[in-house]
Each structure stands twice: as structure tokens, then as C-alpha cells.
Amino acid sequence: MNTPGLILVVCVAVLYSSGFYLLLQRSLMRVVFGILILGHAANLSLLLTDEAITLPPLLGGPSGEMSDPLPHAMALTAIVITFGVTTFLLALAYRVWLGDENDEVPDDVEDRRISRLTEPEDSS
Amino acid sequence: MLSVLAAHFVAAALAPFLVRWWGRNAFLALALVPAATTLWALLCAPGVVAGDPVGVNVAWAPEYRMSLAFRMDVLGLVMTLIAAGIGTLILVYCARYFSDDEPGLGRFAGVLTAFAGAMLGLVLADDLVQLFIFWELTTVFSYLLIGHNTERRESRRAAMTALTVTTLGGLTMLVGLIMLGEAAGTYLLSEIIAAPPRGAAVTVALVLILVGALSKSALLPFSLWLPAAMQAPTPVSGYLHAAAMVKAGVYLVARLTPAYGDTPAWQVLTVGVGVATMILAGWKALRQYDLKLLLAYGTVSQLGFLTALLGAGTRDAALAGIAMLCAHALFKAPLFLVVGIIDHSTGTRDLRELSGLRRSMPAVWWISVLAVASMAGLPPLFGFAAKESAFAAFEHGPAWQTLALVGMVVGTVFTVGYSLRFLWGAFLDKPEVPTTPVHAPGALFVAPAAVLAALSLLGGPFASALDPILAGYADTVPWGGAHPAHLALWHGFGTPLVLTAVCLAGGLLLFSRRGEVVWLGNRLALPDPNRIYRRVLAAVDTLAIQVTGITQRGSLPVYLGTTLVVLVVLSGVPILTGRLWEIEAPPVRLWDSPIQFVPAAVTVIAAVGVLFVRRRLFAVVLVGVTGYGAATLFMFQGAPDLALTQFLVETVSLVVFVLVLRRLPTRFTTPVLRGRRRINLLIGAATGTLVAVMAYFALAGRRAETISSGYPAAAEEAGGKNIISTILVDLRAWDTMGEISVLAVAAAGVASLMFVRRRARPVRGRMGVPVTPLPAISAVEPAGAPAEPNAVPWRPSGIAVAPRQLRIRPKWNPLWLPGAAALARERRSVIFEVTARGLFPVIVLLSVYLLLTGHTSIGGGFAGGIVAGLGLMVRYLAGGRYELYAAVHAQPGVLIGLGLVIAAGTALGGAVFGTEILDGGVFDLHIPVIGHLHVTTSLLFDFGVYLLVIGLILDILRSLGARIDEQLEREARDSAEAEEVTA
């Protein structure tokens, strides 16, 4: 077994950080971007399990070390699903924007109402 | 035993139908079930009394030491006879108490029968968890029965109170039961009692269990729910709140006393609380005007008495307790039934309005006399025998027992007092009250109460016959049995008889001074427990609101940030304290090859750049760059399939994002506060670093070989050369089935979000020229203008408008992209149209190629489908939405469905023709030009995937492309109309 190349690890770290930061935003569009980038980060970290510069997992090709096909298959599935999910989220974000001309996540109205209840009532 | 239990629940399920067919007489049929149970218990009785308990034990979840265990010993037998026997009589009584048109009678009958079953399960359960389940079932059924009059607010509130109080106790008890079960290492009651564990934890468990028992039996300080529960119909009060359910707590005390009766905490709680409840509730009963409430407080008082007797932990007290338990069931139930009869016959239960019933209802009067005499402990009734032995059991004990005896005597004085008050209030002539008009009750209505009263009468003379039976339970209490007492009607002259005389005299005195007693009682009243209960509830409410207000800020970023911070802290601490970096790992490597540096750097720069750009479009492009960078890294990682798919998907995503972004504002809205942004950056960076570190060490510390070493051989066997593709469509085709289902759902989601009202239906027709426009166009076009699509006027501002709908004439038209004719002139590009037209067949061919070669080389259904989708996308971008409709006539839903059907059909075909689901077959084809083609059933599966992906992209184009086009056009038209109107 081998350690993954540091450069890939750094790349994964930056992608994850960027994705999580975007996830913490109020703009839904940015949140969707965040999920997309998190998808890339996850796929790359799946591929960390194997060394780079290997032959593709095709039988009957030139002889040499072949890369591990399992993470590839996982990542391939993940890519397509990420695509489906981001498209759906995009449509959601768009609907939100269509609703109130603003694609930001507002605070939950009910929660605000409850937290207002705890404050001392106005005498007015 | 199990079938007896099951019969109750089956009968309960049938009850609504029976009531619909037979009306109230259905209760007579339902009564057969508890009657059969009673008979069964009587048949078992000789063996049980002889010391041979009946039991079943079905292993349920042996890993958790859970079993379906039932056991009937003497205590269980007595409780079964009470629950089932009185249940039978109550059901018979119901058949006359209710009228046929009582609302909700079917539900009531079902719930009452189910309650009888739950009660039976409760007293027979030999497993603590099972006991708890039946315990809570009785609580729930009691809630439904108390709240029978759903329209009445007091009824609902009383039901809620009972539920809240008893559930609170029940949950506390559950904790105690689990502690007890864990301490004992078994959840079987019989085993626990045979070898009871000891220790501080067990004492705590016992106290918790007692909280449950006391709340169920309505002892102080939980007694408020029982008087409130008198809102229930009288049969319910007579059954649940006198004979059966409230006895559950008493039963549990009786059940555990043989094991823990000598524990001080147990004695203090049962005897102390019991006697206090007996006195206070008895005192309160003395000033009630409602006959039912009088009985309710009397019941609370008697339950206190029973708990004190059964919890005292001596053999004689236990004997007196179980005798009193039987006596109480036999006198309190008929009294409740009598109240129901009086209520039914006169329309009131207020003793200030009743007079002269002694003469108008002689049978009911004599029943009541017997029952009341038993309650007051008059000879020769059963109550007398039981009370005598109770006094005797505490006669020679230590000081605390003498104190308890004094308390019991006081309580009994009150009992005699309210017994007389009941009899006087309900039946005797009152000079100031006119004789109450009565509508005479039928024989069947009175019979149940008569049976019970007769048993009360028989219980006295036959007390010595009952003695050996009840002693079967009392002898299990191992303390104080040196000179065992015996039940008998006549004990001779002694202290108990003197005490009984004192009680009678005191009771008579209280009755003769009843006016003063009521006055004094009202003066000395304790705070209303209902008010305290409501205050507690309000306080809990406020607390809940405050906690919710503090923790639930309603802000998504805050929630998510909290989650991430918790993740970082929880995983970071063990990483740091466990000194993860010290694990034995291969040396750190910078890269596999320096060439990785370029795409990695591009990806990193783009990913960081996304955080800071303000323009949406720019952000989309940067996100795309991260995707392409990742794809390039995949390429170097020896994953060409992955890289191909990533490139294609990224391209489609990019276009789709741009299609949506054209409607959104160009820039992101107001930036968040700088401090907040820094915190977010910090959280993001910390989480990202943590994940990367975990990934790194997970791999550096990896010891096992990859599990995929067998895949090449498996792929060869499956007849594929591309291992990944083989994995997807053959080896792990189930995963792919799941995946394409997700895609289908996502497509449906996108479409339903975009077409809220209905899906746009493009006009059907073969390739042809869209013609004509329509009345709607005249809103833009002055009347009389030639109705040519191309003639839509060029508008300098805003977006030009395409016709609202089109007819497509089925006619071959040699245009490059016929649908583009519907586009506004300024949006058309001849070069783009020509290129798109020329490119489209090539793209489709390429996609088919990728599909077919997927098994042997790079490619596959996903990649092929996306390529075909890209071809459609080019045509849409060049020719507008009508071109898209013209390019594919099928609805995307049809394509998606077809794809799913083909994939699923292939999978099932494997099951039909092969050995299992998704089993594959192989055959070879020789096709000219393409050459040798290796065909497997996986190819068919892949074809399904291919169709589905095309359908998905078509769906996205229609939803996020064409639909938004429509919206934009409609808006432009609306604004134009508005302009015209204002002009």
C-alpha cells in the first residue's frame, strides 16, 4: 500500500473547503455550486486510493500495472448522480427565485416567531 | 393463553361491524370473549392454586433477552378473574346503558374490548418490557374511552390529563424496569422475583417503578386525573377506574412486594403514600355532591389503602391486601353501575336533586345497600372480612406499622362516612327535595350490578374458603409469616373488632354532622391539584418555547455551521489525542508524477476563485473549470472512462446553469457581513482540511489489499474488456439500476418544478414548417400584418416574442433547422444553424458508437447518452425550442420510462432465462463496416441507460431551457401589452 500523492490531497482539501464554504452561504445558487464542488472533491478522494499514471482498466491492452477499477466505477456512478441532483437543486433554486425574486434562503419564519415568543412581550 | 389474548383484539377489530349490524346488542356478543376468558381462568384455577402456574414463553428476540412470556400464578389468576369477570358484566351493562344511536358506539365497543385484552396481557405478562407495552396500551385505550364524548371540551381535557399523568409515570417506570432488568440480567418477572438483585441502583429502579405504579393507581400526588376521568361514560368508570386499570399500579406493587417488601424505600413509599392518599381522598369524598365524583375520591382513597396493604411487606398484610383487592372490585364496580343506572333513569347524579329512589327503585337500592355495606366494612360482607384481617395484620407490628394502622382507621372512618353519604344522597327521602321522577331500568341493566353485589355478600361467609387460594399469593411474601393469619368472617373479639366499631361510630358521627363536614372541608381545602397541574403544564410550555427559541434560530447557515463545527471537533479531538500522525505509514510522497501539478493547480485556483467572484456567470465558469480540472486528474489517474464522463457531464452542467442564469440577476446579492464571512471561511477550511486529513490517513494506514483483485477475471467471464463498464452493467448492475432510478426521479422533479400547472405539450407532427400565428400575436403585431413568423417585428428593447403556439404542417422543408424559423430574427445565426445541422448526425453516430463499444473499450451507455444529449443541446441552442420539439418528437418521460423498462426488463430477463436477476448472456454478431460486434445482454441494459440519459437531458432542456424561454416571452408580451394599454 502507498500514501496518496500530497498534491492530490491538497487539491481535495481545497475543493472540500471551498464546497463547505459555499454550502454555508445564503444564496441558493452558491449552495448548488458548493454541492457540485463537493461532488468533485468526493470523486477525487475516491481516486486517491490508487496511484496515478497507471494503465486504464481495460483487458487486452498493453501489459503493465492497471489501475484499480472499483473506485472508478464508484466515482462514475457518483458523477452521474451528482449531475442529476445538482440539476434538480438548480430547478429548486430557480423556483425559489421565481417565487420571490430572490434566491436567498430566508430564515424560517416559524422559528423566528417562536424565538420572538420567548422575548418579553411589548406592553403596546 | 395466547389465543385468549388474541381473541380480545380480534373481537375489538370486529366490534365496529357488529355494532353496525346489531346496534347496542353487539355488546352481548362481545361479552362472550371475556366470559370465555373467565371460564378459561376458572378451569386453570385448580392447578394454579395447587402451585403450578400456567405459562408460555415464545422466544422473540433472544439477542436482546426479549421473549413473549406469559405466566399465570395466583396473583395473575385473581387479577384475570377480576379483569375478565367484571369485564364481562360491564359489557353486558353497556348493552343497556347506551342507546343504538349513540355517536361513535362502534369505536367505543372496539376500544373497550381491546382494553380488556390489554388489561389481561398486563396482568399475565411475565416480561418487563411486555408488561410495559400492555401498561401503555391500557393508558392509550383509557385515553380514548375517557374522551368518548369527543365534542365535549371537558371530556377531551380530562382524557388528555389522564394521558399526560399516566404516561409520565409510565415512562419513568420504563426507565426503572430497564434498570431492574439489566441489574437482574433477565427481563422475566418470575426469574427476577425468584432471585431479586439488590443494591443502590435497584433501589433507584424500584422508586422509578413506584412512580409509574402510583401514577397509574392515582395515588398522591398523581390523583388528580382519576376524578377528572369521571367524564367518561359510566361503564368505563366502573371498569377502568374502579376494577381494572387503576388496579394495575396496585398489581405491580403486589407483584414486586414478595421480592422487595423489606426494602425501606419500598415500604415508606407504598405505606406512607398509600395511607396519606387514603386519608386525604377520603376526606375529600365527604364533601362531594356528584355521586360519581364521590365514588371517584372514594376509589382513590381505597387504592391508597390497597397499596399500603400490599406494599407493607408482611405476609399477613399481603393476604389482607389481596382479599381487599377482590372485595374492592366487587363493591366499587356495582356502585359505579348503580350511579350509571340512576343517571340514566333520572337524568342527574347530583345528590342534592335526588330523593325517594329507595321506593321507586327497590332492586337498585338493595344492591347499593349490599355494596355500600361491604365498602364500609360491615359484617357479614366480604369487605368486613378483608378489613378485619387488614387491621389484624398491622396490630402487632413495629411503631411505623402502628402509625399506619392509626392512619387506616382514620381513613376507614372517612370511608364509612362517605358510604353513608352515598346511600343517603342517592336513595333516601330528603324533606326539602321533591321525589325524583324515575324511568324504571330494565332487568338486564340491573343484573350486572346485582351479580357483583351478590358476590360481595357471598364473599363474607365464604372468606375462609377463599383463604387457601389467596394464601397462595400471600405465602410468596417471605416476611412475617411465623403465625400466619387466616381469612374468616369471624375472628372473635379482639382489637380489629373494636377498631371496626370505632370506625362505624366515627362514620356515623361524620354523617350526622355532614353539613359541618362539607363546610370544614371547603375551608381546609388544599390547593386545587388541577390548577397546579395546569401551572406545571404552562411552565413546561414556556420552557419548551424558550429552549426552541434559543436553539432553533431558523437560519440554515447557522444550523449547517453548527453541524460542521461539531463534526470537526468530534473527529479532530481523537485525531489529536490519538496522535494519528504517528501511525506506521509509507513515506510521504509529493506526487505520482509532476504533470499532475498543472491540473491540480488550475483546479485549486478555480475553486478558491469561486468564493470571491460576484458575477454569477463567472462563478459558473469557475465551477466548470474545477470540474474540467478534476476530469484531467482522472485522466492521469488511469481512468479514461471517468474523465470522458466528467468532461461530458461538466459541459452539460455548464450549459444548463447558463440557461437558468440568464433569468437571474448578474451578480450575487448583498454580501454577508465580513465577520460572518471570516467565520464561514474558517469553518469551511477546517472541515475541508479535516476530510482531506482523514482521507490521507485512511489510505496511509490501509493494510488490506483492494477487494477488486478479482474483477479482471470476473469481467473476462462476463465477456467484457472494459472492466469499469462491466462492473456497471454486469457485476454491479444493481447499483446502476438504483442510479438510473435516481436520475428518473430527478428528471421528474425538475419537470414538475418547472411545469407547475401542466407539462407543455408541443404540437405533434412530422418535420414541417411551423406556420401561423395566432390571435395572440396581434397583440404585438398590428392587425392585418402578414402572419409570418419571420415577420415578427424587430424590437429594439426587450426580447422579441415568438408565437404562443404553432401548428406544424407535415411537409418536408429543406431548411437547415426548421424550428429556428420561429426564432426572432436577431437571435438567429446562420453559421450556427448550419453547423448544428451538419454536426447533429455526426454527434448521434458518435453516441451510438460509444454505446456499442462500451463493453470492449472506452464508452458506455452513460457517455453515449450524454453525447446524444449534447447533440440535442446544440440544436436547441441554435434553433430555439421549436427546433428542440422538432428534433425529438417523443416526450422525455416516454424516453425515461422506456429506458427504465428496458433496463429492468433485461434484469428480469436474466431471472427468467438465466439463473438469477441481472444474469447476462453473450453472443457475437458480424456487422459490415463496424465489424465484429460482441453483444451481451448487458448491451441491452446499457441501451436502457442510454435512452434514459437522453430522456433526462431532453427533460432538462425542455424544463430549464424551453420553459424559461416561454416565461421570458410571456413576460415580454405582458409588458408590451401593458405598454399599449398605458399608451
Determine the distance in angstroms separating the CA of B528 from the nearest CA of chain A, rounded to an integer: 28
Q: How confident is the model at residue B931 (pLDDT cuts 50, 70, 90)?
A: low
Spatial contact of B416 and B506, defined as CB atoms under 8 Å apart: yes
B233 three-state secondary structure = coil
Mean pLDDT of chain A: 82
Q: Which of B379, B147, B407 is nearest to B272 (CA)?
A: B407
What is the model's pLDDT at position B647?
A: 93
Band of residue B622 on the pLDDT scale cut at 50, 70, 90: very high
- B952-973: per-residue pLDDT in tens? 999 999 988 888 888 888 888 8
Residues 108-147 of B with CB under 8 A from A: none
Task: Cell 375517557: give the residue.
Answer: B146
pLDDT at residue B695 is higher than 90: no
Write the CB contacts of B287 (distance below 8 Å, at least 6 apart in sequence): B517, B518, B521, B522
**Contact call for A83 and B638, based on CB within 8 A:** no
Do residues B7 and B39 make contact, with C-beta atoms less than 8 angstroms apart? no
From A70's Cα to the closest Cα of chain B, the distance in A is 6
pLDDT at B236 over 80: yes
Nearest CA in chain B to A15: B607
B639 and A47 within 8 Å at the Cβ level: the answer is: yes
Instruction: Indicate whether B289 pLDDT > 80.
Output: yes
Mutate: best of A6, A7, A9, A30, partner B, most B CBs <10 A: A7
Indicate yes or no: CB of A57 within 8 angstroms of CB of B633.
no
- For the stretch B403-444, pLDDT in tens is 888 898 899 989 988 898 888 888 888 888 787 787 778 888
Task: Please give, rounded to a whole number of angstroms, the shortest distance from the CA of A122 to a CA of chain B.
Answer: 17
Full-model pTM: 0.66
Residue B586 to residue A11, Cβ atoms within 8 A: no
Q: Which of B548, B554, B597 sits opposite A107 (nearest CB)?
A: B554
Question: Is the CB of B741 inside 8 Å of chain A's CB atoms?
Answer: no
Residue of higher predicted confidence among B628 and B798? B628
Q: Of B449-458, B555-564, B814-823, give the lowest mean pLDDT range.
A: B814-823
Choose the mutation target among A22, A76, A88, A115 for the interface with B, i.e. most B CBs under 10 Å: A76
Question: Tell me, what's the pLDDT at B387?
Answer: 86
When pLDDT is averaged across residues B503-520 and rounded to a whole number, the result is 83
Q: What is the pLDDT of residues B578-591, one digit of tens each?
A: 887 777 777 778 87
Across the interface, whether the CB atoms of A57 and B627 are under 8 A apart is answered no
CB–CB contact A118 B545 (8 Å): yes
Go through the domains of chain B in sequence order and give each one's CATH number.
1-219 (no CATH), 261-479+486-512 (no CATH), 557-577+592-698 (1.20.120), 766-776+809-982 (no CATH)
Which residues of chain B from 69 to 88 reach within 8 Å of chain A, CB to CB? none
| Helix locations, B524-555, DSSP H | 529-551
| Binary contact (B646, A43; C-beta < 8 A) | yes
Q: Is the pLDDT of residue B126 over 70?
A: yes
Q: Is residue B483 over pLDDT 60?
A: yes
Using pLDDT thresholds of 50, 70 and 90, give the confidence band for residue B98: confident
| Four-residue CA torsion sign, B753, B755, B759, B760 | negative
DSSP B489: S
Other beta carbons within 10 Å of B315: 25
Q: What is the CA radius of gyration of chain B?
A: 42
CB contact under 8 Å between A72 and B642, yes or no, is yes
Q: What is the complex's ipTM, to 2 decimals?
A: 0.91
- HEC profile for chain A? CCCCCHHHHHHHHHHHHHHHHHHCCCEHHHHHHHHHHHHHHHHHHHHCCCCCCCECCECCCCCCCECCHHHHHHHHHHHHHHHHHHHHHHHHHHHHHHHHCCCECCCCHHHHHHHHHHCCCCCC
Compute the mean pLDDT over every residue in chain B, rounded to the nearest whole number: 82
Q: What is the mean pLDDT of residues B856-871?
A: 88
Residue of B nearest to A61 (CA): B721
Question: Which range (A51-65, A93-107, B599-613, B654-668) has the least confidence?
Answer: A51-65
Lowest model confidence (mean pLDDT) among B561-565, B809-813, B911-915: B809-813
Listed by start position, the domains of chain A span 3-116
Return d(Cα B258, Cα B768) in angstroms, integer: 94
Q: In whole angstroms, how large is the CA radius of gyration of chain A?
A: 22
**Residue B458: its pLDDT value, please?**
84
Cα separation, B653 vs B632, whole angstroms: 17
d(CA B335, CA B234): 10
Q: Which of A4, A52, A76 sits opposite B642 (nearest CB)?
A: A76
pLDDT digit string (tens) for B328-340?
888 888 898 888 8
Helical ranges in B710-820 per DSSP H: 711-718, 723-726, 733-754
Distance from CA of B889 to the nearest CA of A (A): 23
Instruction: Determine contact, residues B390/B309, Cβ cutoff 8 Å.
Output: yes
Residues of B in contact with A48 (CB under 8 A): 695-696, 699
Contact: A33, B959; criterion CB under 8 Å = no
Q: Is the pLDDT of residue A37 over 90?
A: yes
Q: Is the dihedral of CA B618, B622, B623, B625 positive or negative?
A: positive
> So what's the pLDDT on residue A124?
40
Is A33 close to B619, i.e. CB distance below 8 A?
Answer: yes
- Please say whether the beta carbons of B83 and B243 come within 8 A: yes
Continuous H helices in B788-927: 830-853, 861-887, 892-913
Beta bridge partners of A58: B722
Mean pLDDT along residues B308-320: 87
Cell of B151: 365534542
Q: Inspect the interface and report whether the beta carbons of B636 and A52 lie closer than 8 Å.
A: yes
Per-residue pLDDT, B476 = 83
Closest residue in A to B554 (Cα) is A108
Q: Do B692 and A13 touch (CB under 8 A)?
A: yes
Q: Are A4 and B696 in contact (CB under 8 A)?
A: yes
Nearest Cα of chain A lies from the Cα of B527 at a distance, in angstroms, of 29
Q: What is the pLDDT of residues B350-397, one digit of tens each?
A: 888 888 888 888 888 888 988 888 888 887 888 888 888 888 888 887
pLDDT band at B779 (very low <50, low <70, confident <90, very high): very low
Q: Residue B876 corresponds to which amino acid?
A: Y
pLDDT at B860 (0 to 100)? 84
Query: Is B620's pLDDT higher than 80?
Result: yes
* Subunit contact A68:B706, Cβ cutoff 8 A: yes
Answer yes or no: do A45 and B692 touch at CB < 8 A. Answer: yes
Interchain CB contact of B675 with A (< 8 Å): no
Task: Give the pLDDT of residue B102.
Answer: 80
Of the pLDDT bands very low, low, confident and very high (cuts 50, 70, 90), residue B927 is low
Which one-letter amino acid corresponds to residue B33? Answer: V
Instruction: Choose between B835 and A124: higher pLDDT.
Output: B835
Instruction: Tell me if A52 and B637 make a contact (CB, 8 A cut-off).
Output: yes
Mark yes or no for CB contact B699/A4 under 8 Å.
Answer: yes
Contact state of A104 with B669 under an 8 Å Cβ cutoff: yes
A contacts of B850 (beta carbons < 8 Å): none
> What's the CA gap between B789 and B777, in Å, rounded?
10
With bands split at pLDDT 50, 70 and 90, how would you rate the model's confidence at B136?
Answer: very high
Fold of the A3-116 domain: Helix Hairpins (1.10.287)
Residue among B548, B550, B552 at smallest CA distance from B540: B548
Residues of B in contact with A29 (CB under 8 A): 616, 619, 661, 664, 668
B561 touches chain A (CB under 8 A): yes
Q: Are strands B807-810 and B768-771 parallel, antiparallel or unpaired?
A: antiparallel
Kind and range of the H or E element at B18? helix B2-22
Burial A60-74 (b: 16+ CB within 10 A, else e): eeeeeebbbbbbbbb
Mutation to test the B interface, candidates A58, A63, A114, most B Cβ within 10 Å: A58
- Mutate: best of A72, A115, A116, partner B, most B CBs <10 A: A72
Q: Is B346 exposed, middle or buried (0-12, 13-18, 19+ CB in 10 A)?
A: buried
